[in-house]
Amino acid sequence: MTELAAVKAALKTQAVETPSWAYGNSGTRFKVFAQQGVPRTPREKLEDAAQVHAFTGVAPTVALHIPWDKVDDYAALAKFAEERGVKLGAINSNTFQDDDYKLGSICHPDAAVRRKAVDHLLECVDIMDATGSRDLKLWFADGTNYPGQDDLRARQDRLAEGLAEVYGRLGDGQRMLLEYKFFEPAFYSTDVPDWGTAYAHCLKLGEKAQVVVDTGHHAPGTNIEFIVATLLREGKLGGFDFNSRFYADDDLMVGAADPFQLFRIMYEVVRGAGFSPEVAFMLDQCHNIEAKIPAIIRSVMNVQEATAKALLVDREALAVAQASGDVLEANAVLMDAYNTDVRPLLAEVRGEMGLDADPMGAYRRSGWAEKIVAERVGGEQAGWGA
């Protein structure tokens, strides 16, 4: 295989998971701007996700968030998805929207609240059994607002205990992905604030526990690709929640704010694990002012562009420059790949996959947007403006 053929083959096998909550109405804590035609049910979210996959060819799975996507029969939901050409992906737990969780969930000082939180996580594993999902994605809003409010170490003990119970319930081939975030909604301390804390818990739990990197969950200036490289080296990178940010957890389209950072991250992935299915590429975004489906298509394309550039890095030339201490040349090799216009290459890849070379245009011309505006009245809110 020529080098270019190998790059194309890799691009065809990449899979980006889209989040059910990105299809519904969302906003900030100030205002949700409702859009016409947005899904009213989990099934309608899956119909929209199927459109993203139909036009990009690389978005075959959809993450659910429970209870936002609560249904009576999850096996039937999985079947509905498959009939439309997509599969259900990660199950995201939600232990942050009930009044009971004011002081935390799995780290709460009251054992009864902790029980409720852990029971919810166990219920999520039941759902995974029904849907055939591999990953349980955990993010905890737990933390404190004031020094002295609770015992920081005791909260870690409670976290470890709760996680261990859920870990013990995982079946063969199921994984637990632990997500960290440096602040918000808690402002003084957060119980899983960084990759180190997530890594320490996952290491103790065992092989089925992996860290998930949400690109919006770091302090400004953090070198995320270093975290990615380190977790890959340790065999502990379970996946990504991709989005982009200018300030905090902005949940904007991935690659919009800083495409160069996305490229640097993807370079560490392709030189580390390649496209091992162990690393899940998930989007975690909310489209507050832009149309949902085209925004998600754009994000998928942005991931593809960053990946294509990462795959084009001349690794041999880079290694030579690095070994000889040629700082400028090493940097130039990386920048050469980043500065390549990969859009024609991706158009070719799409053509070879039997797709329209222009997914955005093809979606626009498909009439789906008009159809859902006409058919769906009263779309639902994602549940939370994050």
Instruction: Summarize as ranges the residues that interact with ligand LRH (CB under 6 A).
Output: 92, 139, 179, 181, 214, 241, 249, 284, 386
Sign of CA pseudo-dihedral 230, 261, 288, 15: negative
* Position among 249, 250, 305, 356 found at the interface with Mn ion (CB under 5 A): 249
- Residue number, 284 or 305, with CB nearest to ligand LRH: 284
- Tell whether residue 214 is a contact of Mn ion (CB under 5 A): yes
141 or 337: CB nearest Mn ion: 141
The listed partner (Mn ion, ligand LRH, none) that binds 17, CB under 5 to 8 Å by sort, is none
| Whether 227 contacts 195, CB under 8 Å | yes
Residue 380 contacts which entry, Mn ion, ligand LRH, none (Cβ below 5-8 A, type-dependent): none
Name the residue nearer to ligand LRH (CB basis): 167 or 242. Answer: 242
Rounded to a whole number of angstroms, the minimum distance from the CB of residue 243 to ligand LRH is 8
What value, to the nearest 5°, has the Cα angle with vertex 24 and ends 18 and 30?
120
Residue closer to ligand LRH (CB basis): 183 or 275 = 183
| Contact partners, residue 148, CB within 8 Å, separation at least 6 | none
Query: Around 285, how many Cα atoms within 13 Å sit in the side-chain half-sphere?
Result: 32
Q: Residue 25 in contact with residue 290, Cβ under 8 Å?
A: no
Q: Confirm or reject binding of residue 135 to Mn ion (CB under 5 A).
A: no
Q: Residue 247: which of 285, 213, 224, 220 has the closest Cα?
A: 220
Residue with tokens 């199950």: 91
Distances (CA, A) of 366 to 3, 52, 180, 363, 369: 35, 12, 39, 5, 8
CB of 276 to ligand LRH, least distance (A): 22
Closest CB to ligand LRH among residues 209, 313: 209
Q: Which does 92 bind (CB under 5 to 8 A by kind): Mn ion, ligand LRH, none?
A: ligand LRH
Burial bucket for residue 348 (CB in 10 Å: 0-12, 13-18, 19+): middle
Which residue from 17, 150, 241, 356 is in contact with Mn ion, where contact means CB under 5 A?
241
Question: Using the rule CB under 5 A, is 150 a contact of Mn ion?
Answer: no
**Residue whose C-beta lies closest to Mn ion:** 241
Tell me which of ligand LRH, Mn ion, none is bound by residue 35, counting a contact when its beta carbon lies within the kind-specific cut-off of 5 to 8 angstroms.
none
d(CA 64, CA 143): 24
Closest CB 65 distance from ligand LRH, rounded Å? 6
Taking CB under 5 A as the criterion, which residues in 271-310 touch Mn ion? 284
* Rounded CA separation 296/382 (Å): 15
Q: Residues interacting with Mn ion, by CB under 5 A?
A: 214, 241, 249, 284
